Structure 1
Amino acid sequence: MTISFFFDIGLVVLILGIGASTIIARSAFAAVIAFVIYGLLLAIAWVRLAAIDVALTEAAIGGGMTGMLLLGAAARLRSADAGISRPGLPVRLVTGVLCALMATGLATAILLPPETIPTLAPSVMKNLAQTGLGNPVAGVLFVYRALDTLLEKVVVLLALLSIWSLAPDSMWAGIPGLRVYVPPNSTMTFLAQLLPPIGIVVGVYLCWVGAKEPGGAFQGGTVLAAMWLLAIVAGLERLPPINQPWLRLLLVVGPVIFLAIGLAGFVLANAFLAYPSGYAKPMIVAVEAALTVSIGAALAMLAAGPPARVQQP
């Protein structure tokens, strides 16, 4: 038995313990904090499994941005807590049974895998050199499953439009009402002045390096969104009204460029979302750069919530 073995055992125990505490926590704030910790522990677990891309996504999206969204939801629920009815015992029992069935199914799939696991990994690695990409995850996402990747970005925009549609008609084109637990203070202001320059460099690096190493648009965009939100929460920047042309341009530029390059594939490579020989890597990098900007703007606006204040003239 080695140190890494005991580390893995301790990590599993922590994940199970934090997961249980997330479920049984009676306070929404405590449950969200436990969920964020749970996501970070899962990111470490993915690192131990040598899945760095998944670990970055889990830390950025699963624990980071999702935790921010849940904190905003918890803040809104706290202000409206008096009018919320609690689910009864039958609803909780049914929910518990369904969760148990899902956990059993996942455990069965993991503990009793088929003797021969079907995989396309050898075929992907054999043809990866033709794309000029060094990261097999990027190769799969932008070559073999490019349509899925495009639709994922469109889904983010649809989610944002759904949140904006929750606002009353009188608030449309207004300013999102970001809810936070902690009011601005000197420590937060200091961090908002210190971290964004570093975070922007990290976000751009994650986008750029995604073609060769673990990283990509989602990871880089999440870091950019977090830096923007930090400056807003600290009071150094203001949330823009949702009808600002530059904001809407940032939101759609990534999917539009992705779609344009996909349509150009009909002319250049005789197929939708196909790349001409020798130009796959620069075209994919251009798409990733545009998507990083759009994802960062969309995630920040998702966390900010629906318009709640009328734009001042």
Structure 2
Amino acid sequence: MSIATAFEIMLAAVLLGLGIWTIVVRETFSATVGFVAYGLLVALIWVRLDAADVALTEAAIGGGLSGVLLLGAAARLRDAEPMAEAAPGKLLRATAAALSVLTTATLAGTVLLLPDPAPSLAPASVANAWATGLSNPVTNVLMAFRAMDTMLEKVVLVLAIVGVWSLAPDSAWGGRPGPRHRADPYGVLAFLARLLSPVGIVVGIYVFWTGANHPGGAFQGGAILASMWLLATMAGLADAPPVSSRPLRLILVAGSGLFLIVGLAGLLFGAAFLSYAPALAKPLILGIEVAMVLTIATTLGLLLSGAPERSAEPWAP
């Protein structure tokens, strides 16, 4: 047995044990920490599978932004935990366990019963990659062969932020989301925000820009930019804009809006909806990705900030 195989077996065992522990632990905060660690280990597994793009997304979303969201929820639920005495009954637990085992067995059986080699459209996508001018096969697939799915994902983000904003009371509508964070301007958090935010912004832009030819892309870069924004907000160095801001709303719909415009142009002047002329394919895709990274970063940051609950007036210390 090679060292790589032994490492992969150990990693799978640790991941399985951590997943079980995250489910059975009773404390919300402990389960959240376990979930964040689980996401980081899954990202490492994707690296071992040579899926660097998926690993970047999992680390940014599964281990990063989702962890921040769940930690905030756990902090709010901490006072209510002692009051929650009701626990799932044995029948419900047994049913959930049985369904989990059945799902695992179904997935394992499906993988084992696949023909060898498994059916794949990879050769066709590689053969037609020249039409977009993109060297990264993942970005090529997402922006060309699965362009409809990618566009609808941005629509889902817009619907998600509308759903969060709809939870605001009428008196706060149009105001700023979430509480105004106050931190010691000379403390560790403010120091880290001043130190890491500029570096993180550069890294986020680089990850986005290099996605055309190397692992990366708009979603990964947008998630990093959103993290830097949230870090500056939690350190009290920045504040969320009011939801009534027209530029903010334009940014939120920029990704899906530009995608739709390009798609309709392909329908009117090209071969089909969301088709690109080979001579213009790469500039159009890069333009869409610029709009998408702005939409993704802004939407993720606002989703984690929460519903409007403060005045739209600028905060003064």
TM-score when normalising by structure 1:
0.92
Give the distance between the partners of 1:224 and 1:257, measured in 2 at CA: 20
1:100 positional shift: 2.6
Residue 146 of structure 1 aligns with which residue?
147
Give the conservation status (yes or no) of the 8 Å contact 2:180–2:239: no
Please show how residues 138-177 of structure 1 align to structure 2 within 5 Å.
Answer: 138-177=139-178
1:247 positional shift: 1.6
Q: Which range moved further: 52-61 or 292-301?
A: 52-61
Distance 1:305 1:285, change over 3 A: same
Q: Which range moved further: 49-58 or 167-176?
A: 167-176
Residue 44 of structure 2 aligns with which residue?
44
Please show how residues 154-303 of structure 1 align to structure 2 within 5 Å.
Answer: 154-177=155-178, 184=183, 186-303=187-304
1:98 positional shift: 2.5
Give the distance between the partners of 1:260 and 1:79, measured in 2 at CA: 48
Amino acid at match of 1:121: A
What are structure 2's unaligned runs of at least 5 residues? none
> 1:97 aligns to what SS in structure 2?
helix
Give aligned pairs, total. Answer: 311
Give the distance between the partners of 1:236 and 1:92, measured in 2 at CA: 46
Residue 16 of structure 1 aligns with which residue?
16
Give the distance between the partners of 2:39 and 2:113, measured in 1 at CA: 25
Give the conservation status (yes or no) of the 8 Å contact 1:138–1:210: yes
> 2:277 aligns to what SS in structure 1?
coil
% identical equivalent positions: 50
Pairwise CA RMSD: 2.1
Q: Which range moved further: 277-286 or 10-19?
A: 10-19
Amino acid at match of 1:200: I
Amino acid at match of 1:31: A
TM-superposition CA deviations, 1:218-277 (whole Å, max 9, x none): 000000000000000111111222112222122111111111111111233131111112
Give the distance between the partners of 1:9 and 1:267, measured in 2 at CA: 53
TM-superposition CA deviations, 1:66-114 (whole Å, max 9, x none): 2122222223323554775745314433333322322222232234433
Give the distance between the partners of 1:174 and 1:7, measured in 2 at CA: 51
Q: Which range moved further: 245-254 or 36-45?
A: 245-254
Give the conservation status (yes or no) of the 8 Å contact 1:188–1:234: yes
Amino acid at match of 1:285: L
Distance 1:303 1:51, change over 3 A: same
Give the distance between the partners of 2:10 and 2:29, measured in 1 at CA: 26
Q: Which range moved further: 239-248 or 288-297?
A: 239-248
TM-superposition CA deviations, 1:162-201 (whole Å, max 9, x none): 1111222222212222599xx8451211110011111111
1:49 positional shift: 0.7
TM-score when normalising by structure 2:
0.91
What are structure 1's unaligned runs of at least 5 residues? none
Distance 1:79 1:18, change over 3 A: same
Distance 1:302 1:83, change over 3 A: farther
Distance 1:93 1:307, change over 3 A: farther
Amino acid at match of 1:206: V
Q: Which range moved further: 258-267 or 45-54?
A: 258-267
Give the conservation status (yes or no) of the 8 Å contact 1:76–1:179: no
